Structure 1
Amino acid sequence: MDADWLGETRTSYDTVAESYAAQTRDALGGAPFLQAALKLFADTVPPGGPVADVGCGPGHITAHLHSFGLNAFGLDLSPAMAGLARREHPEAEFAVGSMTALGLADESVAGLLAFWSLIHIPDDAVPGVLAEFHRVLRPDAPVLVGFHLGDGSRLKKEGYGGHPMNVYVHRRPAERMAAWLDGAGFTVTAHMLVGLDTRYPGGLLFARRNPPQERSY
């Protein structure tokens, strides 16, 4: 696997940003179960707190969360994606950032969404990413993780209109994702499977950041 996977991911999505946005802009409209999952997640976020959409891409999902009245903002590794999101969704805030080192204060976020944005993270880097999620979330705050269901990885060399890319796409069993969340200090509260009859089935895990452990003397 390429050592500079972050750089390759950034360059790949800078390259496909416009075509990716065009192909995914209306995708949520034909996905009632994903809509229901996002509404359920939104309903569990405490009022008023900021909600981070990590790996937001062109911002369509961030805007959907914003439509529920959430103070949702987006972060993406790709400057082109973040710029496109700002242009298309001026009602929300977007910034460039990496989920491996979130530029957010400790316990500053009331909810966090990672909607198919962990799919390019190598296995050995996932626990560190989830530790970052844990760091920025408030105690008992909800997190929703969406991912490609399955096992194994493939190198994606082009996509979204035939543009060149160089990223690995990772599929994971739900049990592995749940174990990673548990190890990072989260409690998984629900699990949803979607698209089981399609080429790319997905999994969604709802979880909460565990409150600090009370010391026993």
Structure 2
Amino acid sequence: MPSPDAALRITREAYDAAAPAYAELFRDALRDRPLDRAMLDVFAQEVRTGGADGRVADLGCGPGHVTAHLHDLGLAAFGVDASPAMIGLARRTYPALRFYVGSMAALDFPAGALAGILARWSLIHTPPPGLPAILAEFHRVLAPGAPLLLAFWSTDAPADPPQPFDHAVTTAYRWSPDHLAALLHAAGLPETARATREPQPADRRQFREVHLLARRT
């Protein structure tokens, strides 16, 4: 298993190489995913009622299509991604929005600066030993009461440890929702809701999808 720094470098280089094809593949990805849209709607409502007035970070934003969706929901959303190629595509496609190259493990924001964080399938490439430090960073930059929404693929059973699999871009990990919820709680980000989507026959990956909503204490 690579170190967190090595994993970040590998992930950045892999997404730089895949950026144009990835952007084309996922340009309209939300159109046929009603659960994803519903959870983003819930997240937007949580941001508005969370008591924090500020910007919302889409971490691991890729080509920016979900950042744009959050903006359309009325949030002051911006995107952060480790891949300069992805950020370049996002800036060209959505010139009215802000996008930054950066790492989830070292966010360039003051403590309590963010009104919400979305990390949608962006933690999956982090080796399991590196995840607690990233969750601690999320806690640092979120305002008290601000929400966090994660999306990831689940392991097959609640007691299963994180499991690597051959993602199309680079190695990724599936997580037990209960295991990840426990890490969130330990980081001061207790779970408030979760939604699960069972794999469908047409899905490329026959993994259960999970959306976990948490809130900074």
- Whether 2:205 is the aligned partner of 1:209: answer no
Matches within 5 A, 1:79-158: 79-150=84-155, 151-156=162-167
In structure 1, how many angstroms separate the alpha carbons of the residues matched to 2:133 and 2:108?
14
Aligned to 1:39: 41
8 A contact 2:2–2:127 mirrored in 1:
no
8 A contact 2:90–2:99 mirrored in 1:
yes
SS in 1 for 2:103: coil
SS in 1 for 2:80: strand
- Residues 104-158 of structure 1 deviation map (CA, whole Å, 9 limit, x = unaligned): 11100000000010000011000000000000000010110111111510244xx
Deviates more, 1:2-11 or 1:175-184: 2-11
Q: Partner amino acid for 1:147?
A: F
Give the deviation of 1:195 after TM superposition: 3.6
In structure 1, how many angstroms separate the alpha carbons of the residues matched to 2:151 and 2:171?
17
Aligned to 1:171: 174
SS in 1 for 2:193: strand
Aligned to 2:78: 73
Give the deviation of 1:32 after TM superposition: 0.5
- Whether 2:188 is the aligned partner of 1:188: answer no
Aligned to 2:158: none
- Report the TM-score, using the length of structure 1 for normalisation: 0.89
Give the deviation of 1:86 after TM superposition: 0.6
- Residues 51-105 of structure 1 deviation map (CA, whole Å, 9 limit, x = unaligned): 0001100001000000011100000000000110111112210000000111111
Q: CA RMSD in A?
A: 1.3
The structure richer in strand per residue is 1
- Report the TM-score, using the length of structure 2 for normalisation: 0.89
In structure 2, how many angstroms separate the alpha carbons of the residues matched to 1:94 and 1:126?
23
In structure 1, how many angstroms separate the alpha carbons of the residues matched to 2:71 and 2:53?
12
Q: Partner amino acid for 1:181?
A: L
SS in 2 for 1:45: helix
SS in 2 for 1:10: helix
**Percent identity at matched positions?**
46
Runs of 4+ in 1 over 2 A off after TM superposition: 195-198
* Unaligned 5+ runs, structure 1: 160-164, 211-217
In structure 1, how many angstroms separate the alpha carbons of the residues matched to 2:28 and 2:198?
17
Aligned residue pairs total 202
In structure 2, how many angstroms separate the alpha carbons of the residues matched to 1:37 and 1:190?
10
Aligned to 1:162: none
